[in-house]
A and B are shown apart, each in its own frame.
Chain A
Amino acid sequence: MALDPATIHRIAKLARIRIEDWQAAQLEQELNGILGWIEQLNEVDVEGVEPLTGGAQMAMKMRDDVVTDGNIRDLVLANAPEREGVFYAVPKVVE
Chain B
Amino acid sequence: MMAGSSMFDLTLAQARAALRARKISAADLTNAYLGAIEALNPELNAYITVTPELARAQAAAADAALARGEHAPLTGIPLAIKDLFCTEGVRTTAGSRILSNFVPPYESTVSGNLLRDGAVFLGKANLDEFAMGSSNMTSAYGAVTNPWSQPGGNARLVPGGSSGGSAAAVAARLALGATATDTGGSIRQPASFCGLAGIKPTYGRCSRWGVVAFASSLDQAGPIARNAEDCAILLGSMAGHDPKDSTSADVAVPDFAAACARGVRGLRIGVPREYRMDGMPPEIEALWQRGLGWLRAEGAEIVDVSLPHTKYGLATYYIVAPAEASSNLARYDGVRFGLREAGADLTELYEATRASGFGAEVKRRILIGTYVLSAGYYDAYYLRAQKVRALILQDFTRAFHDVDALVTPTTPSAAFAQGEKMDDPIKMYLNDVFTVPANMAGVPGMSIPAGLDDAGLPLGLQVLGRPFDEQTVFAVAATLERAAGFTALPSMRAGVRA
Number of A positions contacting B (CB below 8 A): 51
Q: Most chain-A CB neighbours within 10 Å: which of B218, B367, B442?
A: B367
For residue B377, which residues in chain A have a CB less than 8 angstroms away from its CB? 1
Shortest Cβ distance from A10 into B: residue: B374
B397: shortest Cβ distance to chain A, in Å?
9
Q: Determine which of A27, A79, A91 lies in contact with B367 in the assembled complex, contact meaning CB atoms within 8 Å.
A: A27
Query: B426 touching A17 by the CB < 8 A rule?
Result: no
For residue B363, which residues in chain A have a CB less than 8 angstroms away from its CB? 17, 19, 27
Q: Determine which of A38, A42, A78, A88 lies in contact with B335 in the assembled complex, contact meaning CB atoms within 8 Å.
A: A88
Task: Tell me the interface secondary structure of chain B in the complex.
Answer: helix
For residue A42, which residues in chain B have a CB less than 8 angstroms away from its CB? 384
Query: A79 touching B102 by the CB < 8 A rule?
Result: yes
Given A15-B354, A31-B371, A38-B381, A52 contacting B393 (CB threshold 8 A) = yes
Query: B355 touching A80 by the CB < 8 A rule?
Result: no
Query: B390 touching A17 by the CB < 8 A rule?
Result: no
Q: Most chain-B CB neighbours within 10 Å: which of A41, A42, A55?
A: A55
Given A17-B367, A44-B309, A53 contacting B249 (CB threshold 8 A) = no
Query: A14 touching B370 by the CB < 8 A rule?
Result: yes
The interface stretch among B13-21, B44-52, B120-128, B340-348 is B340-348
The interface stretch among B256-264, B275-283, B314-322 is B314-322
Given A15-B370, A27-B367, A56-B204, A34 contacting B336 (CB threshold 8 A) = no
Query: A38 touching B319 by the CB < 8 A rule?
Result: yes
Task: Tell me the interface secondary structure of chain A in the complex.
Answer: loop
Query: A46 contacts the other chain (Cβ, under 8 Å)?
Result: yes
For residue A31, which residues in chain B have a CB less than 8 angstroms away from its CB? 364, 367-368, 371
Q: Determine which of A11, A37, A55, A72 lies in contact with B204 in the assembled complex, contact meaning CB atoms within 8 Å.
A: A55
For residue B349, which residues in chain A have a CB less than 8 angstroms away from its CB? 90-91
Q: Determine which of A11, A50, A56 lies in contact with B374 in the assembled complex, contact meaning CB atoms within 8 Å.
A: A11
Query: A81 touching B351 by the CB < 8 A rule?
Result: no
Q: Which of A11-30 contact B (CB under 8 A)?
A: 11-12, 14-19, 27, 30
Query: A58 contacts the other chain (Cβ, under 8 Å)?
Result: yes
Q: Determine which of B367, B384, B424 lies in contact with A46 in the assembled complex, contact meaning CB atoms within 8 Å.
A: B384
Q: Which of B346-395 contact A (CB under 8 A)?
A: 346-352, 354-355, 358, 363-364, 366-368, 370-371, 374, 377, 380-381, 383-391, 393
For residue B425, which residues in chain A have a CB less than 8 angstroms away from its CB? 30, 33-34
Interface string of B415-445 (1 = CB under 8 A from A): 0000000001110000000000001001000
Shortest Cβ distance from B105 into A: residue: A75
Query: B333 contacts the other chain (Cβ, under 8 Å)?
Result: yes
Query: B467 contacts the other chain (Cβ, under 8 Å)?
Result: yes
Query: B486 contacts the other chain (Cβ, under 8 Å)?
Result: no
Given A38-B319, A49-B387, A55-B439, A33 contacting B426 (CB threshold 8 A) = yes
Query: A90 touching B388 by the CB < 8 A rule?
Result: no
Query: B11 contacts the other chain (Cβ, under 8 Å)?
Result: no
Given A18-B354, A30-B425, A41 contacting B316 (CB threshold 8 A) = yes
Given A16-B350, A37-B315, A52 contacting B367 (CB threshold 8 A) = no
Query: B289 contacts the other chain (Cβ, under 8 Å)?
Result: no
Query: B108 contacts the other chain (Cβ, under 8 Å)?
Result: no
Shortest Cβ distance from A46 into B: residue: B387
B436: shortest Cβ distance to chain A, in Å?
13
Interface string of A36-69 (1 = CB under 8 A from B): 0110111010100111111111101101000000
Interface string of B88-112 (1 = CB under 8 A from A): 0000000000000111011000000
Query: B471 contacts the other chain (Cβ, under 8 Å)?
Result: no
Q: Determine which of A35, A51, A56, A60 lies in contact with B383 in the assembled complex, contact meaning CB atoms within 8 Å.
A: A51
Binding site for A on B (CB under 8 A): 101-103, 105-106, 203-204, 217-218, 220, 243, 246-247, 249-250, 309, 311-312, 315-316, 318-319, 326, 330, 333-340, 343-352, 354-355, 358, 363-364, 366-368, 370-371, 374, 377, 380-381, 383-391, 393, 424-426, 439, 442, 467
Q: What are 18 A-B residue pairs whose CB atoms fall within 8 Å in the complex?
A: A1-B377, A7-B371, A17-B351, A17-B367, A27-B364, A34-B425, A37-B315, A38-B315, A38-B381, A44-B387, A49-B387, A49-B391, A50-B390, A51-B386, A52-B386, A56-B442, A78-B103, A88-B336
Taking A15-B354, A38-B318, A91-B346 as given, write out 5 further A-B residue pairs in contact, using a Cβ cutoff of 8 Å, ordered by the A residue number: A15-B370, A30-B364, A41-B384, A54-B247, A90-B349
Q: Which 10 A-B pairs have the closest CB atoms?
A: A51-B386, A79-B337, A81-B340, A55-B203, A52-B390, A18-B351, A46-B387, A18-B355, A75-B105, A16-B350
